Structure 1
Amino acid sequence: MVSKTNSSTQRVKDALEKLGIPVTVQKLPDSTRTAKEAAAAANCQVGQIVKSLVFQTANSQKPILILTSGANHV
């Protein structure tokens, strides 16, 4: 685990902690482009990985964030 975080990571960490959600940031040295790679790097099961997907609506261009298990397909 690397303790140094970039500014965007720190902003997210600060916002979550402000909401009372404890956070530990881990920077993984290996590729984590897929849930399978992330699970291998974190030494856990694919279902324990959270995938984040962001889409924009066609009309309003509002972002939609989907958080799902690494084992799921969206």
Structure 2
Amino acid sequence: MSMECAFCAVGLDHCHGTLVVHLDGGFTECSEDGCVDFDFARHTLTIDCFDVDGGCSCAEVSAQALLRAS
């Protein structure tokens, strides 16, 4: 018995990748190769770049700015 994505089964426009939202102005990218539509509604999984394994350079800059402000 094979598993099938429920969104694929009903033909909904969606992406299996994770949408990554960068903290330096809201730039977004997707972990799925070939994804060109970065709409939140198409992605079940959405994370801030701060949560990316290995970190993100813009998350480091934002964290430093928060520390200076406090």
- Per the TM superposition, whether the score is higher than 0.5 is no
Tell which structure's C-alpha radius of gyration is larger: 2
Greater relative contact order structure (CA < 8 Å, 6+ sep): 2
TM-score (ref. length: structure 1): 0.22
